[in-house]
Amino acid sequence: MIYQFKIEHWFIVKSGDTSQNFNNALSFCKNLSSPQTYFVPEVQDYTNANGFGWNFGVPGQGNTYQRRISYWNSSNNKWVGGLFNEWGIIYDYRDAGWDFGDYWVINESQGKRYNVFAQFGDVDFLFNHPSSDRVACFTWMSDF
C-alpha cells in the first residue's frame, strides 16, 4: 500500500440553483435527514485560505487555497483546510453537481456572513447579492 486515507466529511450539493439565501441554505441542510445530521459547512470545511479577517487557514497563506492535504491544528482544535484545497476546482469533476460560484458557510464576522469561492477557495463576505450563493451541506462520516 502506498498510502491510505479516511473520509471525514460527506458533502451533498444542491446543484444548479444560484438563488439561495442563507435561510434557504439552512432549511435545505436541515431537511436532508431526520434527525438532522447535515449542516451548512464552516469556512475550514472548504478551504485553507485566509482573508477578510478569517485567519484559521495555513499560516502565511493568502486568500486562495493552497493545494495540500488538510491537517488538524491542535492549538485551536480545528481542521486547517477542506474540500476545495484537497480536490481543486471541484466543479470540473464531471457529473459531481458542483457549480462555479460562492458557497454559503455558517461563519460570520461583525454581522457579515462569509462565503467561499469554489474556484480559488477564497474567503469573502456576502456583498450586494444576498440570494446569489450556492448551497452544499456536510455531515461527519461517523454520523452515517
End-to-end CA distance of the chain: 26
Tell me the pLDDT tens digit for each residue of 20-47: 889 999 999 999 999 999 999 999 999 9
Residue 69 makes CB contacts below 8 A (sequence gap 6+) with 81, 86
Q: Domain limits at 84? A: 9-143
Report if residue 2 sits inside a domain. no
pTM of structure:
0.90
Q: Is residue 102 part of a domain?
A: yes
Q: Residue 40's domain is classified under what CATH number? A: 3.10.100.10
* 48-102 pLDDT per residue, tens: 999 999 999 999 999 999 999 999 999 999 999 999 999 999 999 999 999 988 9
- Rg of the chain in Å (alpha carbons): 15
User: 127 φ, ψ to 5°?
Assistant: -95, -115
User: pLDDT class for 130, splitting at 50, 70, 90?
Assistant: low
Q: How many domains does the chain have?
A: 1
For residue 4, being part of any structural domain is answered with no
